[in-house]
Amino acid sequence: MKKRYLVIILVFICFSSLVLAGDIPESIMLGENKGLLIGKLSIQADMYTIMPSTIMMGEVLAEEITVDKFDSYYGTADKPLDGDIIVAVLINDHQIDDSWVFKCTSEDYKTLKLVSERYNIVERYEKYINDGEYFRAQQKLNKNNTTDAIETEQVLDTNVTVKDSVNKLGTNIPGIGISILLFITFIIFIVFKRTQNRGK
């Protein structure tokens, strides 16, 4: 009987985490990565080089970014080719999120199309890019960072990232809420079952 309860708890925890996996386009707007860019891919023997053409978020000063090779683009089996135009999330100076890199049709953020299966998450991402939402998110972060610096009278080093106030502790508020709700539901279920068993 205890094993059954344990399995139910584990299933609830797993599903509550998986439900939130589709928020990647929105989570990029929090500015927790080094940058979001459009660039041209150049293939060397053991590395890739990205030449950024448009920086939508973050501060990327390098004219070329050398990264490890990746096998394919998100939502397609296309293999990277020399000269491909890509949209990538830069995690640090020499690392991109290779599970979320897209081949695209143009370097113009207003008109580019992401080459991918047309999943809802991809369509949202493309719309945010085309509408300039990532530029606005960066402006908001810059404004918040400036306001925070003035309020606390601290001089910020240019390498320090001040996170958005929505998530200062790095917690997943919706995930915690869902987990608490599932836990309460589970407790009610146990109490109900026990009162049923006592009545027999």
In tens, the pLDDT along 63-96 reads: 999 999 999 999 999 999 999 999 999 999 999 9
Amino acid 146: pLDDT = 77
Q: What are phi and psi for residue 8, nearest 5 degrees?
A: -60, -45
Amino acid 5: pLDDT = 61
Buried/exposed code over 3-18 (b: 16+ C-beta within 10 A; e: otherwise): eeeeeeeeebeeebee
Q: What CA–CA distance (Å, rounded) separates 181 from 123?
A: 30
Tell me the average pLDDT across 37-49. 95
Q: Is the overall model pTM greater than 0.85, yes or no?
A: no
Amino acid 63: pLDDT = 95
Tell me the average pLDDT across 136-140. 96
